[in-house]
Structure 1
Amino acid sequence: MTDVHTGELEAAIGVFDSGVGGLTVLNALREALPNENLVYLGDTARVPYGTKSAVSVMRYAEQAVRALQARRIKAVVIACNTASAMALEHLQKCYPSIPVLGVIEPGAQAACQTTRRKHIGVIATESTTNNQAYQKAILELMPDARVQAQACSLFVALAEEGWHQGELVEQIIAKCLSPLLEKNGVEEQLDTLVLGCTHFPTLSAAIATVVGESVTLVDSAATTAKAVKARLADEHLLNPQLVAGQLNFLVTDGPERFARVANNFFNEAIAPASVELIDIQHFSAADE
């Protein structure tokens, strides 16, 4: 059990991402844990993480957690697939006294529970696909699964521009997913598709239209929220308050742009004045 005093149960859950995509995880967390206080940090000065080295991503992630710790947190959620793949184990070792969860393992577990024919597809950014984090996590849970991954980086641009549905969007999605949807026989057909980027849930309706009813979508944001709730319950860290939790936004650059683009991801409008600009460089990693 995590060593947190009763008075600290009202401490916030810290959530971080390289930018705005992690807001889909924040939506899911608010739905699953409406009375929890949440602090969201978007490292917008250094987005995207996908083009950075593993060493840099680990350093960025550790600085993000240190910045969140300054806001009094009881748990950390890595709402970024790249950081989850490259920095989760590092952060768990650096901060053993608090739960640190990523988005990949919950998504992999949900995919294995969902699949009917053990044929699972994963769509993500190029860096996450090349890292093979989802493939490894799924095969560790289900060694005889067939896992196909497809990089769909263009979906990030669609999501950020607010192009979530429509004929043109579906045409682009169909083109990008065509390698996964090629069908020979029934046994060869994909039956489960993991949305392996936090931007992608905003496109879920259009993706579902393209892949058809025979393919079940797994939203890593929703599955992560369920995993966070279960972990907090196990650690006796759930907030006992009966009122809606507070929500704070931090960014490392461009609060106005963050608030504007966030409207494509978050269920509520965010006022630019409510987004706090911080200098994350002040929160050096432990070995610096």
Structure 2
Amino acid sequence: MLMRNAPIGVMDSGVGGLTVVGEIWRQLPREEVLFYGDSLRCPYGDRTVEEIATYTFQALDYLVSQGVKMLVIACNTATAICLEPARKRYTIPVIGVIAPGSRAAIAATLNHKVGIIGTSATIRSGSYPKALHATHRGIETYSLACPPFVELVESGVTEEVALPIVRATLEPIVNTDMDTLILGCTHYPLLSKLIQEVVGPDVCLINSAEQTARDVSFWLDEQHLTRIDLRDPHHVFLTSGEAHAFAQIGQNWLGCPLDVRYLDVWHMDNEATRIEM
């Protein structure tokens, strides 16, 4: 009974995972979320595999210590490196964002030509082409690392400032004949308006958040973990970065004030005072 009313633990390298949180709220409005965004060490995409694994498991271990009933790795880079090891490490369900995004792209493409943009680490891992080809061998892929995008989102720059950077970064992929583009980083949907403007209206943008939330819903039902507490859910957002900046970006994206607290799990014991939801 207590486990059913526990929060869903969500982690990301920064604010990008809020796109997944928003979709969880939409599809599962009764569930509580405990979110950890490691903005201090963001972006993960340019770090070594060892650093990504260390930071990711530090965050996941902390969320598990807080009694969450499920983990969502709302970061493509962390999913690419850590999803399978995490499923072996923990006894609760662990959901990533790459498989859901790949399924959505296969469902959307008409000409079987799919673009993939992501961090350098995600693109180097080849996780999206592997996931796509595991389901549909005939998919042709075009991959492009877009290192500036995460920083654009985390810094909260204006669209006027961001647009020329987005345009220059996407230039190598714009002239391909893709009809579908996977936003292979959960930060990127926050730039979706600008990305759509650059690639054109005929390219379908795939945000894995919707399908990821469906996976969360499936596993909650499968494991009999849906929340039954009749009280309104309360969500807590933890960040290793500047809490006010995180709260501002989060409110702009999710449309409501957030309970944001500073916490850097790198410098604390996982058995520290329990977070009050």
TM-based fold match above 0.5? yes
TM-score where L is the length of structure 1: 0.85
CA-atom RMSD, angstroms?
2.2
CA contact (8 A) 2:179 2:204 kept: yes
Residue 274 of structure 2 is matched in structure 1 by: none
Residue 10 of structure 1 is matched in structure 2 by: 5
Does 2:78 align with 1:83?
Answer: yes
Please, which of 45, 49, 52 is the counterpart of residue 44 of structure 2?
49
Residue 210 of structure 1 is matched in structure 2 by: 198
CA contact (8 A) 1:124 1:151 kept: yes
Please, which of 140, 152, 172 is the counterpart of residue 134 of structure 2?
140
Residue 151 of structure 2 is matched in structure 1 by: 157
Q: CA deviation at 1:32?
A: 1.5
Q: CA deviation at 1:70?
A: 2.4
CA contact (8 A) 2:46 2:119 kept: no
Does 2:160 align with 1:174?
Answer: no
Cα distance in 1 for partners of 2:174, 2:41 equals 34
Cα distance in 1 for partners of 2:187, 2:20 equals 9
- Alpha-carbon distance change, 169 to 276 in structure 1, aligned in 2, over 3 angstroms: closer
Residue 3 of structure 1 is matched in structure 2 by: none
Please, which of 269, 278, 281 is the counterpart of residue 257 of structure 2?
269
Q: CA deviation at 1:161?
A: 3.6
Q: CA deviation at 1:33?
A: 1.2
Residue 117 of structure 2 is matched in structure 1 by: 123
Kindly provide the amino acid, as one letter, of the partner of residue 138 in structure 1. Answer: L
Q: CA deviation at 1:141?
A: 1.4
CA contact (8 A) 1:25 1:224 kept: yes
- Alpha-carbon distance change, 164 to 114 in structure 1, aligned in 2, over 3 angstroms: farther
Unaligned segments of structure 2, at least 5 residues: 272-277
Alignment coverage as a number of residue pairs: 270
SS of the residue 1:45 aligns to: helix
SS of the residue 2:77 aligns to: helix
CA contact (8 A) 1:250 1:276 kept: yes
Q: CA deviation at 1:210?
A: 2.5
Please, which of 204, 207, 225 is the counterpart of residue 237 of structure 1?
225
Residue 213 of structure 2 is matched in structure 1 by: 225
1:202-221 alpha-carbon deviations (Å, 9 max, x no partner) = 11122223322321111022
CA contact (8 A) 2:79 2:98 kept: yes
Q: CA deviation at 1:270?
A: 3.3
Residue 199 of structure 1 is matched in structure 2 by: 187
Cα distance in 2 for partners of 1:182, 1:250 equals 40
Residue 270 of structure 2 is matched in structure 1 by: 283
Cα distance in 1 for partners of 2:151, 2:49 equals 23
Q: CA deviation at 1:138?
A: 1.1
- Alpha-carbon distance change, 50 to 212 in structure 1, aligned in 2, over 3 angstroms: closer
- Alpha-carbon distance change, 263 to 58 in structure 1, aligned in 2, over 3 angstroms: same
Does 2:61 align with 1:66?
Answer: yes
1:113-167 alpha-carbon deviations (Å, 9 max, x no partner) = 111111000111222112211121111111111010111222223323434645x
TM-score where L is the length of structure 2: 0.88
Kindly provide the amino acid, as one letter, of the partner of residue 38 in structure 1. Answer: V
